Chain A
Amino acid sequence: MNAALVSMVVPFFAAMLVLMWRPQQQSWLVIVASIVSLLAAMMALLSVIDSGPQSLNLGGWESPLAIRFQLMPVNALLIVTTAVIHLIVVCFAASSHHCQSIKQAFWPLALLLHGSLVALWLSMDLFNWYVTLELLGLAAVSLVTLAGHKALRAALDYLLLSLFASLTYLLGVVMLYGQYGTLDIALLATLTEADRVTQTALLLISAGLMLKAALWPLHLWLPAAHSSAPTPVSALLSALVVKAPLFILWLLWSRVAPSELAVPMGFWLALLGGGALMIGGWSACRTPHLKTLVAYSTVAQLGYGLLALGLLLHWQLNDLQAALWLFVVAHALAKTSMFLAAGEIQASTGKKRLNSLRGMTLTMPVALFAFAVAGGSLIGLPPSGGFIAKWLLIQPMLIEPAHWPWALLVIIATLLSAAYVFRVVSQGFRQSSVSATATEHGKSAQWLALLPAILVWLMALFSEPLLQLMDVFSA
């Protein structure tokens, strides 16, 4: 537990410290803080594997009044993923020449984002989630504004929607508190009954969370906000920030909600997930802009998460938990790679449109390779992290013949994601009419973009311990 707390507190302190630091050395401070946070996160994961879930009541207050932190295998894994992605993104921002202008403000905000995410993963309290969601939202919106004047409108829309979603969430939380008199997840789980008030409260909370996670059909703000943000910010938002509400949604419906409510809701969630896969994939195949394509791919891929969550609730199958969280981790890594590569390409050509990618195999081979490798995991090609997750998801569908429509849905979604990934890669292989000018200075940034894509393929090699970790949890 202490290691997890260190992983949360270090980014917060570093965020304060970096404001007082000399500008030339800020990047080193941030990188060191990220490394410390990652090491602490890994120690937390090891301690969970050794001694099981641990919990802590903040300030030593007793049960109904306490704000509880809990460390479980799932959130330990998420804390490690968060720290890994932050470290890569921070190194990318330090090495990319296109990020010079945003750095001063980027460092403290990125660190605040990191700290609030870890706090959210650790919390097991409805109101503390509200606070951490607000922290996360404010940090995320401030990061979007760093892209300059053009992004202000998108940032404002993002902020207003995020605040609206928070208030919807808060009203639901208050109704639950009014009914049961507690905010703690474990206590609520023992108390909830399937009555009208509980149902309304859960639906309000879910609507707020789905808006924040940009789950279809409440996804309309995401492509604008994520594609107009600076490159490292887009990567953080798409890889991590949208996963936070999904985590709360999962705990709420699988733990707190009584099964009479969770089973029918699961069907609708799975259906919405299917909608996200279709519409998000289709939009990604149609958009003319590179970063918007990647953002729509996030909408589509979140559909897998929602589908896994919905079917988990609908069939009451705990095995699907592993599918859900491996999806989240695999997508986080792959999407980081994709956004960093796409952003680096876009910044060096100066154009947003897809056809500016022509001849990229010659000028920026590493970035294009990173995009293709990450795309392979999004499609679910073996042996990548995306493949394992999809395999786990599809298994219960294949066992039961009556579940064939879901399997068909996943297959169509796979084809759609293959279509939009190849749309980008094939452009890169086309002959360019403009003479190719090799860009030497972007090399290290390109390799950093490739790193998470390699990690996601390595996940396949370590699938055995990962699955065991998930089993420990569902047991």
Chain B
Amino acid sequence: MTLSLQLFLASGGILWLTGLYGLWRNSDPIRRIISLNIMGSGVFLVMVTLARRETSTDPVLHALVVTGLVVAVSATAFALRLAVASQQEKR
């Protein structure tokens, strides 16, 4: 594994941990949703990096990332709507 790949893997891990920290420290729903998305980006970065390990890119991992992105987008939309609704309820 080349140095640049290791660098990408490490940044994926750091992104995941950053998101985890944000989720743990914040109580505001919007901030927590953003933290979750940062965690998600970390996982996806690890996935696309692993796909580049060999000379031919691994299509399975790319397919998984695309599926994961679809899940992440729809879940984020739902979470944002819920956050807005519960914020309106408070007022």
Instruction: Tell whether A159 pairs with B82 under 8 Å between CB atoms, given A65-B60, A178-B50.
Output: yes
> Which of A150-158, A333-341, A414-422 is found at the contact surface with chain B?
A150-158
Q: Is the CB of A152 within 8 A of B47?
A: no
Q: Is the CB of A152 within 8 A of B82?
A: yes
The chain A residue with its CB closest to the CB of B32 is A160
Q: Is the CB of B64 within 8 A of A134?
A: no
A131 on the interface (CB 8 Å rule)? yes
Interface of B: prevailing SS: helix
CB-defined contacts of B67 to chain A, threshold 8 Å: 127, 131
Find A177's partner among B33, B50, B82 (CB 8 Å cutoff): B50
CB-defined contacts of A141 to chain B, threshold 8 Å: 78, 82
CB-defined contacts of A82 to chain B, threshold 8 Å: none
User: Chain A: how many interface residues by the 8 Å CB criterion?
Assistant: 26
Cα separation A155 to B82 with both chains bound (whole Å)? 8
CB-defined contacts of B60 to chain A, threshold 8 Å: 65, 177, 183
Find A163's partner among B16, B36, B47, B61 (CB 8 Å cutoff): B36
B 71-91 binary contact with A (CB < 8 Å = 1; else 0):
100110011001101100100
The chain B residue with its CB closest to the CB of A156 is B82
Q: Is the CB of B75 within 8 A of A134?
A: yes
Give, as a whole number of angstroms, the nearest-CB distance from A128 to chain B: 10
Q: Is the CB of B78 within 8 A of A159?
A: yes
Q: Is the CB of A170 within 8 A of B29?
A: no
Give, as a whole number of angstroms, the nearest-CB distance from B20 to chain A: 8
Range for the number of chain B residues in contact with chain A: 20 to 34
CB-defined contacts of A138 to chain B, threshold 8 Å: 74-75, 78
Instruction: Tell whether A156 pairs with B86 under 8 Å between CB atoms, given A131-B71, A141-B78.
Output: yes
Cα separation A163 to B39 with both chains bound (whole Å)? 10
The chain A residue with its CB closest to the CB of B68 is A170
Interface positions of A from 157 to 172, Cβ below 8 Å from B:
159-160, 163-164, 166-167, 170-171
The chain B residue with its CB closest to the CB of A158 is B82
The chain B residue with its CB closest to the CB of A182 is B60
Cα separation A177 to B60 with both chains bound (whole Å)? 10
Q: Is the CB of A152 within 8 A of B89?
A: yes
Give, as a whole number of angstroms, the nearest-CB distance from B54 to chain A: 10
Cα separation A130 to B32 with both chains bound (whole Å)? 21
Give, as a whole number of angstroms, the nearest-CB distance from B55 to chain A: 15
Give, as a whole number of angstroms, the nearest-CB distance from B9 to chain A: 9
Output the residue of B40, B46, B61, B75 with the most chain A CB within 10 A.
Answer: B75
Q: Is the CB of B82 within 8 A of A145?
A: yes
A149 on the interface (CB 8 Å rule)? yes
The chain B residue with its CB closest to the CB of A169 is B43
CB-defined contacts of A156 to chain B, threshold 8 Å: 29, 79, 82-83, 86
CB-defined contacts of B85 to chain A, threshold 8 Å: 145, 149, 152
A455 on the interface (CB 8 Å rule)? no
A251 on the interface (CB 8 Å rule)? no
Give, as a whole number of angstroms, the nearest-CB distance from B46 to chain A: 6
Instruction: Tell whether A174 pairs with B75 under 8 Å between CB atoms, given A152-B82, A159-B82, A164-B23.
Output: no
Give, as a whole number of angstroms, the nearest-CB distance from A327 to chain B: 31
CB-defined contacts of A166 to chain B, threshold 8 Å: 71
Q: Is the CB of A171 within 8 A of B50?
A: no
Cα separation A131 to B39 with both chains bound (whole Å)? 17
Instruction: Tell whether A153 pairs with B33 under 8 Å between CB atoms, given A127-B64, A170-B68.
Output: no
Q: Is the CB of B46 within 8 A of A174?
A: yes
Cα separation A134 to B72 with both chains bound (whole Å)? 9
Find A171's partner among B16, B79, B86 (CB 8 Å cutoff): B16
Cα separation A138 to B79 with both chains bound (whole Å)? 10
Output the residue of B19, B74, B78, B85 with the most chain A CB within 10 A.
Answer: B78
Give, as a whole number of angstroms, the nearest-CB distance from B77 to chain A: 10
CB-defined contacts of A152 to chain B, threshold 8 Å: 82, 85-86, 89
CB-defined contacts of B29 to chain A, threshold 8 Å: 156, 160
Q: Is the CB of B39 within 8 A of A160?
A: no
Cα separation A170 to B43 with both chains bound (whole Å)? 7
Cα separation A167 to B12 with both chains bound (whole Å)? 13
Give, as a whole number of angstroms, the nearest-CB distance from B4 to chain A: 16
Cα separation A160 to B29 with both chains bound (whole Å)? 9
Cα separation A164 to B17 with both chains bound (whole Å)? 12
Instruction: Tell whether A160 pairs with B79 under 8 Å between CB atoms, given A131-B71, A177-B61.
Output: yes
List of 9 A-B pairs having minimum Cβ-Cβ separation, nearest first = A152-B86, A178-B50, A156-B82, A149-B89, A167-B39, A134-B71, A171-B43, A153-B86, A163-B36
| 14 residue pairs bridging A and B, Cβ less than 8 Å apart | A127-B64, A127-B67, A145-B82, A152-B86, A155-B82, A159-B78, A160-B33, A160-B36, A164-B23, A164-B39, A167-B36, A171-B43, A174-B46, A177-B50
If A153-B86, A156-B86 are given as contacts, then 5 extra A-B residue pairs at C-beta distance below 8 Å, sorted by A number, are: A130-B71, A138-B74, A145-B85, A152-B86, A153-B89
Taking Cβ atoms with an 8 Å cutoff, the residues of A that contact B are 65, 127, 130-131, 134, 138, 141-142, 145, 149, 152-153, 155-156, 159-160, 163-164, 166-167, 170-171, 174, 177-178, 183
